[in-house]
Structure 1
């Protein structure tokens, strides 16, 4: 028998042994004082010791059973692998708590594995998306070696493909940062209109190149909302980029309008384009990663990750995002911000 187990067992029962013999001695002393007669002391002590040995033998057996059960455990505890008849109530409680910890750990491991699998799939697809513009640039470089080529035209095409690569890289970086979102955001009062103006100015060339015109239907000079400046800018940038991209495919009027609706404790920002619109069947799936839908097939650089990121960012910042659309009429994205906690 393992010496360490015996030492631990004795330590665990020293107090019980001391209490048993002390109480037995006090009872015998009480009767001796009450009767005033000398009585046989050895026989009661032997009876107490006999019962004590039987009791401690059973306790030791259960103690050893529990010890080996824990020490030699392989895999999870399940109802079929444990004979609870040899365990006392305290040991059963320990086993139950171990089972609960195992279930929580297993759920956490499964969640992490699922997240890693999704992350691998997302990053792989993003890298695959970047291969196309790099191949186009390579072809442009080869084509430029021809003396009759228009250098300015080639530079413009290479610049366009470079923008596509930068867009995919930004999306990849934002996706990776989502894991550390709680350590990388700060909700503060932000002027929403100032951010919008800055983004529209930054995208001025993109608006002009695609012949899409922003329409500012906002009378307020400033509107304060509670958000994180950096993440909100990324979300707005993605929504405006999508609006430009899909509006440019449509002939006729090409506009993106910006409207604000203020309520007591919240602000609604509406970004509405006159683009292709999203089919009703696709509208239900626009937030799924890599879902490009019918419209995405018409655009070579559609990644299908932008709105997925927007949805995740909006939820983590306690914002709401809603999309409504009609085919051939356009798409409307509504972002709802809180103005007070």
Structure 2
């Protein structure tokens, strides 16, 4: 089973054996999983792997439950006390390994974040120093206050984006999937961005068929992705340019495209677009940003078993294509 499918599986705390183990911090042993009222069948349906007997233990480290370790379908006989004791030992080791990996990941993220904080903090330090100088004019004073305000807003956006990305990368974000109209969402995003487009004198329009099927996904998260792409398409466009949002469906997926007539992205920058804090050098003077937006979009799409693609030509424009499966991916039973 591929990693996107695994990441797309969400097991609820209520209504699942794993959830009961986490909540009660106790072991579960059952020889007939389907007869247990706590059994959560969605995982079996998605993976195609039938569950008969089950033994599960909580993963506990530093008095905190970090997960559940389950083994399924013992080859011979029933699960025994010896099996349970062995799994508890393995679970204790796994809990420590998971916690250590999480701490290492956090330390790497924090190091990157601190590095990105240096520039705005240096700007704020310089600005406050200049404000203390008695010889500055009223006009200079007002400009410095304006710069401080902008840098503060940028720091707030950077911190919020960083937290979003950290949660997504650690797998702590749960996607709440519903069925919804893609066209309704696209027009809603267009309405949100229309003011920004008008201000930049950018034409914003929708081109999608009316009979699109419903999409099963986390609506708020997909909206976040589309809004980010539209914001970039407007921000890096040319004067009197245009942005077209289009959508189409096949038997297996729905694709949503944000196409702009902007400056385009150099070919050597394309492989790095989804890296944390990466910004295209040629675009830095055009508009500001955190360098995290596309990384967040990529993580959201991966969490939906989807993809985010980019096509671009310098001087012509850029297209970002979201591809989402129409329903839960099913793997045939073996």
SS of corresponding position for 2:210: coil
Alpha carbons 1:207, 1:244 under 8 Å: kept = yes
Alpha carbons 1:266, 1:339 under 8 Å: kept = yes
Shift of 1:279: 1.0
Shift of 1:106: 7.8
For 1:170 and 1:196, the matched residues in 2 are separated by: 24
Kindly report the root-mean-square deviation, in angstroms, between the aligned alpha carbons of the 2 structures: 3.9
Q: How do 1:1-341 and structure 2 match up within 5 A? A: 108=98, 111-128=101-118, 130-131=120-121, 164-165=154-155, 167-178=157-168, 181-182=171-172, 184-220=174-210, 223-247=213-237, 250=238, 252-299=239-286, 301-341=288-328
Change (3 A) 1:199 1:276: same
Change (3 A) 1:110 1:147: closer
Alpha carbons 1:274, 1:331 under 8 Å: kept = yes
Q: Deviations over 1:50-101 (max 9, x none)?
A: xxxxxxxxxxxxxxxxxxxxxxxxxxxxxxxxxxxxxxxxxxxxxxx99988
Task: List gaps (5 residues or longer) in structure 2.
Answer: 1-86, 329-334
Change (3 A) 1:293 1:148: closer
Alpha carbons 1:194, 1:222 under 8 Å: kept = no
Q: Deviations over 1:155-175 (max 9, x none)?
A: 998886676455434313322
The size of the alignment, in residue pairs, is 241
Task: List gaps (5 residues or longer) in structure 1.
Answer: 1-96
Change (3 A) 1:99 1:177: closer
Q: Deviations over 1:93-112 (max 9, x none)?
A: xxxx9998899678646633
SS of corresponding position for 2:236: helix
Query: What residue number does 1:93 align with?
Result: none
Give the stretch that moved more between structures: 164-173 or 275-284.
164-173
For 2:166 and 2:209, the matched residues in 1 are separated by: 38
SS of corresponding position for 1:203: helix
For 1:227 and 1:214, the matched residues in 2 are separated by: 25
Alpha carbons 2:120, 2:151 under 8 Å: kept = no
The structure with the larger Rg is 1
For 2:176 and 2:254, the matched residues in 1 are separated by: 19
Alpha carbons 1:235, 1:310 under 8 Å: kept = yes
Give the structure with the larger helix fraction. 1
SS of corresponding position for 2:309: strand
Shift of 1:257: 0.7
Shift of 1:214: 0.9
Alpha carbons 1:129, 1:301 under 8 Å: kept = no
Alpha carbons 2:167, 2:173 under 8 Å: kept = no
Give the structure with the larger strand fraction. 2
SS of corresponding position for 1:220: coil
Change (3 A) 1:302 1:194: same
What TM-score results when the alignment is normalised by the length of structure 2? 0.59
SS of corresponding position for 1:332: strand
SS of corresponding position for 1:282: helix
Q: Deviations over 1:293-333 (max 9, x none)?
A: 32343246232211111111110121211111111111110
Alpha carbons 1:123, 1:172 under 8 Å: kept = yes
Alpha carbons 1:133, 1:165 under 8 Å: kept = no
What TM-score results when the alignment is normalised by the length of structure 1? 0.58
For 2:236 and 2:129, the matched residues in 1 are separated by: 26
For 1:157 and 1:212, the matched residues in 2 are separated by: 26
